[in-house]
């Protein structure tokens, strides 16, 4: 038969096509063949109907008498009409080669089968005529090219069907299938919804007729012009016929030889390999049908039932589907065949939401078919195709494919974890594993500059990890373990993206947070320590590998040349560690609600206790590190770990907010770590003051909880009782008597569940909370009954020990603390000040030697200013002096509180206070070192910026003094101050709405000079950033506001891009040029707006 893998042409085809240059004169014209098809399918002309038009499905309405009449009319025209002799001869030749069709065409007892045979014969004539026309290219090209002018479209080939002819051929194919194929298919084989129609012939002839029709249709499918509409619309029925003839029971194939059945099987394979694979999959699934017919639900009884496919057909379709799956790109074909039935658009969105369908496809892909001999071979073949599903770019189908890929991967990981890790997870994570410090790749053998992971590869890998792990959200041990192997590289990439402009920052952060949330708490804490470099639980980036900024906003990984300069290498190492710690703290800021940040902070404090114990042991034994190289290496590793712990604790204390602890248990662990450190290493030496402050704060925190700051339950007291042994030891071993007494009182209060709370506990709580003492007796001057003292203990006012000399002793202690203070503030206001007792107490507390008490007093003063307290407003000059002196304090909690107070005062009285601030910003106080003066001026700059934010639109009145002050700061010798001034200038321009007025020339000249000549890259970067803010904020108004300086700014940016060595500065300049380019394009080529204007005439 003609439907083989390489189907031979019908006999007589080449002879009819002719050879060489001869025109195909003996054959009929295409129009004649199509006219014969239309004549055979012509419906009866009734009232109100057109006899020459057959609508869709009209062949199904043809009655037997109509078919007989049409066949007789065609025979009459073939015998007598002029010009039909060639078609008659061609049809006779075709029927001579197909005896089954010839016998059926002449039979009048069954008009349906006779019409089908006549249609199939005419379609074969059409196929041969099209082949003959295609075989004469020279004559056809000469005739077609004669009338074609220059630039005209190429003429169609001679074997091309017109639109009307294609429509007529489609109707003929539909009628041939409906009359010659469908009636001879048994129930359940290729049937559509509806009751099965009984075959119109005896069962003995069904097999032969089915074979004749199927063989002819398969032969027609070989030609492109006929195979396209045939396979697109009737592939399922053709496959059903081939399956029945090739693999069906012998009862349905009577009259068909074994050789013909073998050719049917071969043709079935050929057709399946030729067609669009998703279409083949869909038709095979339809042939296979449902596994079991479910009972009809209410309201569906009227729907026609589908006859279940026979068992042999279901098994055959399963085998054929498995073969489709095992082919190259078979996974995508199966997925598209199942999911593409929606047709795109809203249907595709609905299919993406239909997770049941996606999960069903995933189960199919995760199950190894029976034809595959080895499970590992199946995984080796299918897993790369599953990973390719994650990279589909079509927006309409990407969500479906990604869900299928993710669900399939997770299913495989559950069923066969070892194979899934080998063939799915490791290839998925390969770009990250390649540059890990445990990679087997010999990075040392690669030359500097070699790119290990390209930008596209790294970005695709990170996105795939996000889709599989985070979106899939399966926290199995296999997935968590595989992800942990690359977490160090992901964290390094997160730190790099945090410092640069990259879209990878957000996905890396989501990946890290997902792992920390889903893992066990101990594993998460160990991983965080690995990020900080305290252990080796995660594998960091290879020391020779470095990230590079990509041109598309991503990053690549390349081999870096070894730094020969030791100082430069040390600087790079220290700066990378600092960046790593900052990134870790930034990551922890998103983990506070879960309590992970608090647990990690406590663990760091416990590590700090170990460091203190090691230092204590080292100070007692004056032995030097061992002389062997191994011992020396271990000694240096220990010292490095100590520095990392100290740096991490310091950064956490500065950056993590006061909500780090989420429950009483965490507070207890924090206090326990502090008390244990105090017991192991009492406060001595140069760091005694800091240790004493930490201990006082921890004990005050417990006192505040016991005094009612937190509503404690019985379970909370059970947690706090863990502190009793430590408090008892502290009361016996700590050298400060007042601290011993407070530890004893806290132990009593905890043991009695707060029923007995000595005065020292309330005083300590009031000192932490910044309140007036509630349990102690207030001294005549109003000082708190318990105040932190320089030794680290608490000086409480006891009921039986208060005396009139207490104020004088307090004043002497306060004066001594001022003389030895690190910030060197002026003495506190005198006791004979006209201020009332409460305000005087706050002013005195604002010079407390311990930062918590001082910061609490400053915040209380700020609250009074905000509440517009009359006494506080009357002493605003004195309060301003207190705030400005505390701005110089080195503790962040103190000077930030002072900055807040100055900003509040300035926003209330800008006319009086802004000139003072601008004068201090321009000319620092005398007697200060340059570094201290620069730091103080930067703090004042922060004050000025807070004032501008608070003033809002009122800032326009003070525009020029503020701009001049920042311009003067931009010329300061200190580089950090110059960068800070430029940053403040950029934000001020934003607050002003970029309406700089006449000083725009001064601003641009300053920015140009700094960007070209400043020796520090950070300052040049800040100057270019201000230009970016100007262009981005002004947008289309830039051509008006910056009209006189726009050319200078453009030249400046081009100069920076061409000559600037700093990469970040160049990136800012490129962003500015892109912004300027967009602005100029919008100005020069405004968007065309199509609008109607209706004008009402008078």
Strand partners, 556: 548
The whole-angstrom separation of Cα 157 and Cα 159 is: 5
At residue 455, the pLDDT reads: 92
At residue 823, the pLDDT reads: 38
What digits encode the pLDDT tens for the residues 447-458?
778 888 999 999
Give Cβ neighbours of residue 1038 (< 8 Å, ≥ 6 apart): 1030, 1031, 1046, 1076, 1079
Annotate 1052-1092 with DSSP letters as a single string. Answer: HHHHHHHH---HHHHHHHHHHHHHHHHHHHHHHSPPP----
At residue 510, the pLDDT reads: 94
For the cut 80, the answer to whether the pLDDT of residue 798 exceeds it is no
Mean local confidence (pLDDT), 76-92:
83
Range in 103-117, 923-937, 966-980 with the lowest mean pLDDT: 923-937
To the nearest whole percent, how much of the chain has pLDDT over 90?
9
Tell which residue, 554, 501, 499, has the closest CA to residue 1069: 501
Q: What is the chain's length?
A: 1098
Read off the tokens for 950. Answer: 């608070």
How many other β-carbons are positioned within 10 Å of the β-carbon of residue 570? 11
Three-class DSSP labels, 220-279: HCCCHHHHHHHHHHHHHHHHHHHHHHHHCCHHHHCCCCHHHHHHHHHHHHHHHHHCCHHH
Annotate 195-226 with DSSP letters as a single string. Answer: PPPPPSS-HHHHHHHHHHHHHHHHHHTTSHHH
Is 488 within 8 Å of 583 (Cβ atoms)?
no
Residue 193 CA, distance from chain mean position: 45
For the cut 50, the answer to whether the pLDDT of residue 119 exceeds it is yes
Q: State the pLDDT confidence band at 150, using cuts at 50, 70 and 90.
A: low
Cα 704–705–706 angle (5° rounding)? 90
Annotate 1004-1060 with DSSP letters as a single string. Answer: HHHHHHHHHH-S-HHHHHHHHHHHHHHHHHHGGGHHHHTTTTHHHHHHHHHHHHHH-
At residue 349, the pLDDT reads: 52
**Alpha helices (H) in 416-454, listed in sequence order:** 417-420, 426-428, 430-434
The whole-angstrom separation of Cα 162 and Cα 156 is: 10
Q: State the pLDDT confidence band at 464, using cuts at 50, 70 and 90.
A: very high
Q: Half-sphere exposure of residue 318, counting CA atoms within 13 Å on the CB side?
A: 16
The three-state secondary structure class of 906 is: helix
The whole-angstrom separation of Cα 147 and Cα 996 is: 70
Q: Which of 49-53, 108-112, 1027-1031 ranks highest by mean pLDDT?
A: 1027-1031
The three-state secondary structure class of 545 is: strand
Give Cβ neighbours of residue 1091 (< 8 Å, ≥ 6 apart): none
The three-state secondary structure class of 524 is: helix
Is 773 within 8 Å of 786 (Cβ atoms)?
yes
For the cut 50, the answer to whether the pLDDT of residue 142 exceeds it is no
Q: State the pLDDT confidence band at 765, using cuts at 50, 70 and 90.
A: low
What digits encode the pLDDT tens for the residues 493-538?
999 998 888 899 999 999 999 999 999 989 999 999 888 888 888 8
Inter-CA distances, 1093 with 361, 1087, 1088, 1089, Å: 55, 18, 15, 12
Strand partners, 546: 558
Q: Which of 25-34, 248-257, 651-660 ranks highest by mean pLDDT?
A: 248-257
At residue 340, the pLDDT reads: 73
Range in 78-82, 633-637, 767-771 with the lowest mean pLDDT: 767-771
Is 690 within 8 Å of 698 (Cβ atoms)?
no
What digits encode the pLDDT tens for the residues 270-280?
999 989 889 98
The whole-angstrom separation of Cα 621 and Cα 890 is: 35
Q: State the pLDDT confidence band at 292, using cuts at 50, 70 and 90.
A: low
For the cut 50, the answer to whether the pLDDT of residue 317 exceeds it is yes
Tell which residue, 719, 617, 704, has the closest CA to residue 663: 719
Read off the tokens for 413. Answer: 């990981």
Range in 134-143, 397-406, 750-759, 918-927 with the lowest mean pLDDT: 134-143
More confident residue, 1071 or 395: 1071
Report the mean per-residue pLDDT for the chain: 75
Is 931 within 8 Å of 973 (Cβ atoms)?
no
Read off the tokens for 877. Answer: 């000059």
Is 1007 within 8 Å of 966 (Cβ atoms)?
no
More confident residue, 346 or 981: 981
What digits encode the pLDDT tens for the residues 592-601?
778 888 888 8
Cα 613–618–622 angle (5° rounding)? 160
The whole-angstrom separation of Cα 169 and Cα 232 is: 13
Global pTM?
A: 0.60
Q: State the pLDDT confidence band at 751, using cuts at 50, 70 and 90.
A: confident
Q: State the pLDDT confidence band at 1028, using cuts at 50, 70 and 90.
A: confident
Burial-class residue 581 by CB neighbours within 10 Å (0-12, 13-18, 19+): buried
What digits encode the pLDDT tens for the residues 558-588?
888 777 677 777 777 778 888 888 888 888 8
At residue 429, the pLDDT reads: 92
At residue 178, the pLDDT reads: 87
At residue 350, the pLDDT reads: 55
At residue 514, the pLDDT reads: 93
At residue 109, the pLDDT reads: 63
Q: State the pLDDT confidence band at 1065, using cuts at 50, 70 and 90.
A: confident
Give Cβ neighbours of residue 713 (< 8 Å, ≥ 6 apart): none
More confident residue, 85 or 150: 85
Mean local confidence (pLDDT), 75-99:
84
The three-state secondary structure class of 486 is: coil
Inter-CA distances, 991 with 397, 533, 998, 1003, Å: 45, 42, 17, 15
The whole-angstrom separation of Cα 949 and Cα 46 is: 86
How many other β-carbons are positioned within 10 Å of the β-carbon of residue 712? 16
Residue 708 DSSP label: I
Q: State the pLDDT confidence band at 192, using cuts at 50, 70 and 90.
A: low
Strand partners, 545: 559
Read off the tokens for 796. Answer: 């409480």
Residue 455 CA, distance from chain mean position: 16
To the nearest whole percent, how much of the chain has pLDDT over 70?
76
Q: State the pLDDT confidence band at 779, using cuts at 50, 70 and 90.
A: very low
For the cut 90, the answer to whether the pLDDT of residue 706 exceeds it is no
Residue 341 DSSP label: G
Read off the tokens for 57. Answer: 């499905």
509-531 burial, b for 16+ CB within 10 Å, e for fewer?
Answer: bbbbbbbbebbeeebbbbbbbbb
At residue 48, the pLDDT reads: 42
Inter-CA distances, 845 with 375, 451, 784, Å: 77, 60, 9
Residue 305 DSSP label: P
**352-357 own/partner pairs: CB under 8 Å, 24+ apart:** 352/399, 352/400, 352/403, 355/403
At residue 494, the pLDDT reads: 92
Q: State the pLDDT confidence band at 17, using cuts at 50, 70 and 90.
A: very low
Mean local confidence (pLDDT), 673-700:
71
Tell which residue, 1094, 1092, 1053, has the closest CA to residue 1076: 1053
At residue 818, the pLDDT reads: 37
1003, containing H or E segment:
helix 1000-1013
For the cut 70, the answer to whether the pLDDT of residue 137 exceeds it is no
At residue 612, the pLDDT reads: 63
For the cut 90, the answer to whether the pLDDT of residue 490 exceeds it is yes
Three-class DSSP labels, 935-983: HHHHHHHHHHHHHHHHHHHHHHHHHHHHHHHHHHHCCCCCHHHHHHHHH
Strands 794-795 and 787-788 turn out to be antiparallel
Is 1031 within 8 Å of 1038 (Cβ atoms)?
yes
Q: State the pLDDT confidence band at 329, using cuts at 50, 70 and 90.
A: confident
Burial-class residue 620 by CB neighbours within 10 Å (0-12, 13-18, 19+): exposed
Compute the 3-state secondary structure of the chain and give helix, strand, coil in percent, each to the nearest 5: 65, 0, 30
């Amino acid at each position: 038969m003609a439907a083989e893998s390489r189907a031979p042409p019908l006999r007589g085809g080449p002879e009819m096509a002719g050879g060489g240059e001869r025109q195909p004169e003996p054959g009929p014209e295409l129009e004649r063949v199509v006219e014969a098809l239309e004549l055979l399918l012509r419906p009866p002309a009734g009232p109100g109907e057109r006899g020459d038009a057959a609508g869709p499905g009209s062949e199904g309405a043809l009655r037997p008498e109509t078919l007989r009449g049409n066949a007789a009319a065609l025979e009459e025209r073939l015998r007598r009409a002029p010009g039909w002799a060639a078609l008659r001869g061609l049809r006779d030749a075709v029927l001579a080669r197909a005896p089954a069709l010839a016998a059926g065409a002449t039979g009048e007892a069954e008009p349906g089968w006779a019409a089908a045979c006549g249609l199939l014969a005419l379609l074969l004539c059409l196929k041969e005529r099209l082949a003959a026309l295609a075989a004469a290219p020279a004559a056809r090209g000469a005739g077609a090219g004669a009338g074609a002018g220059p630039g005209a479209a190429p003429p169609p080939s001679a074997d091309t069907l017109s639109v009307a002819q294609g429509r007529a051929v489609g109707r003929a194919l539909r009628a041939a299938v409906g009359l010659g194929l469908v009636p001879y298919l048994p129930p359940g084989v290729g049937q559509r919804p509806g009751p099965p129609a009984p075959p119109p012939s005896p069962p003995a002839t069904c097999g032969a007729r089915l074979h004749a029709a199927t063989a002819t249709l398969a032969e027609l499918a070989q030609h492109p012009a006929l195979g396209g509409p045939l396979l697109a619309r009737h592939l399922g029925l053709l496959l059903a016929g081939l399956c029945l003839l090739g693999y069906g029971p012998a009862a349905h194939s009577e009259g068909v030889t074994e050789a013909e059945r073998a050719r049917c099987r071969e043709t079935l394979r050929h057709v399946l390999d030729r067609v669009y694979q998703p279409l083949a999959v869909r038709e095979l699934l339809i042939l296979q049908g449902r596994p079991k017919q479910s009972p009809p639900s209410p309201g569906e009884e009227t729907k026609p039932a589908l006859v279940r496919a026979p068992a042999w057909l279901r098994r055959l379709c399963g085998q054929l589907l498995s073969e489709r799956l095992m082919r190259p790109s078979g996974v995508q074909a199966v997925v598209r065949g199942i999911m593409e039935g929606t047709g795109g658009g809203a249907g595709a969105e609905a299919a993406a939401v239909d997770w049941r369908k996606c999960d069903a496809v995933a189960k199919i892909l995760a199950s190894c078919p029976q034809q595959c001999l080895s499970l590992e071979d199946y995984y080796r073949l299918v897993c790369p195709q599953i990973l390719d599903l994650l990279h589909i770019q079509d927006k309409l189908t990407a969500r479906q494919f990604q869900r299928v890929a993710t669900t399939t991967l997770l299913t495989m990981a559950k069923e066969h974890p070892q194979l899934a890790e080998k063939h799915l997870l490791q290839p998925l994570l390969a770009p990250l594993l390649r540059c890990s410090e445990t990679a087997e790749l010999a990075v040392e053998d690669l030359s500097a500059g070699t790119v290990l992971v390209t930008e596209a590869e790294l970005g695709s890998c990170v996105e795939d990890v996000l889709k599989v792990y985070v979106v899939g959200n399966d926290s199995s041990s296999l997935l968590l373990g595989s992800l942990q192997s690359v977490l160090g590289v992901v964290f390094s990439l997160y730190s790099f993206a945090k410092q640069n402009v990259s879209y990878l920052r957000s996905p890396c952060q989501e990946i890290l947070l997902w792992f920390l949330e889903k893992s066990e708490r101990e594993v998460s804490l160990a991983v965080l320590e690995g990020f900080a470099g305290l252990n080796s639980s995660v594998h960091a980036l290879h020391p020779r590998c470095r990230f590079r900024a990509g041109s598309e906003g991503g990053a690549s990984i390349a081999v870096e040349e070894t730094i020969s300069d030791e100082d430069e290498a040390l600087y790079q190492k220290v700066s990378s560690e600092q960046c790593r710690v900052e990134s870790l703290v930034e990551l922890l800021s998103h983990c506070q609600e879960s309590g992970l940040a608090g647990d990690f902070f406590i663990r760091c404090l416990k590590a700090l206790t170990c460091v203190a114990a090691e230092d204590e042991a080292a100070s007692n034994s004056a032995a030097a590190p061992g002389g062997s190289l191994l011992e020396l290496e271990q000694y240096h590793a220990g010292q490095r770990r100590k520095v990392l712990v100290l740096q991490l604790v310091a950064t956490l204390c500065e950056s993590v907010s006061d909500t780090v602890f989420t429950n009483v248990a965490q507070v207890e662990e924090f206090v326990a770590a502090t008390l244990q450190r105090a017991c192991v290493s009492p406060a001595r030496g140069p760091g005694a003051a800091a240790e004493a402050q930490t201990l006082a704060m921890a004990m005050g925190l417990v006192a505040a909880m016991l005094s009612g700051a937190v509503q404690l339950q019985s379970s909370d007291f059970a947690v706090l009782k863990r502190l009793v042994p430590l408090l008892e030891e502290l009361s016996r071993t700590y050298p400060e008597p007042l601290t011993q007494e407070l530890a004893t009182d806290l132990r009593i209060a905890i043991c009695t569940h707060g029923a007995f709370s000595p005065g020292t506990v309330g005083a300590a709580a009031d000192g932490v909370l910044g309140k007036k003492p509630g349990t102690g007796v207030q001294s005549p001057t109003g000082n708190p009954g318990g105040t932190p003292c320089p030794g680290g203990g608490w000086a409480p006012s006891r009921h039986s020990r208060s005396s009139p000399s207490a104020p004088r002793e307090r004043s002497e202690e306060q004066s001594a603390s001022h003389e030895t203070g690190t910030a060197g503030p002026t003495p506190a206001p005198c006791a004979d000040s006209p201020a009332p007792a409460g305000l005087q107490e706050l002013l005195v507390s604002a010079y407390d030697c311990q930062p918590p008490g001082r910061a609490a007093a400053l915040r209380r003063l700020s609250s009074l200013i905000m509440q517009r307290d009359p006494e506080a407003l009357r002493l605003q000059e004195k309060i301003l002096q207190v705030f400005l002196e505390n701005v110089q304090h080195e503790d962040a909690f103190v000077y930030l509180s002072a900055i807040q107070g100055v900003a509040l005062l300035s926003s209330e009285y800008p006319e009086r206070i802004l000139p003072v601030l601008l004068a201090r910003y321009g000319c620092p106080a005398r007697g200060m070192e340059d570094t201290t003066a620069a730091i103080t001026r930067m703090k004042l700059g922060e004050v000025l910026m807070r004032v501008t934010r608070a003033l809002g639109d009122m800032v326009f009145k003070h525009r020029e003094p503020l701009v001049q002050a920042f311009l003067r700061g931009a010329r300061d010798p200190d580089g950090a101050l110059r960068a800070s001034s430029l940053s403040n200038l950029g934000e001020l321009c934003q607050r002003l709405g970029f309406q700089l007025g006449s000083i725009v020339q001064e601003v641009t000249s300053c920015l140009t000079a700094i960007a070209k000549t400043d020796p520090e890259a950070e300052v040049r970067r800040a100057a270019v950033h201000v230009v970016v803010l100007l262009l981005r904020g002004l947008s289309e108004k830039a051509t008006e506001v910056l009209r006189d300086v726009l050319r200078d700014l453009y030249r400046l940016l081009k100069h920076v891009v061409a000559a600037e060595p700093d990469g970040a500065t160049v990136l800012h300049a490129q962003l500015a040029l892109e912004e300027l380019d967009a602005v100029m394009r919008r100005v020069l080529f405004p968007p065309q707006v199509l609008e109607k204007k209706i004008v009402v005439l008078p």
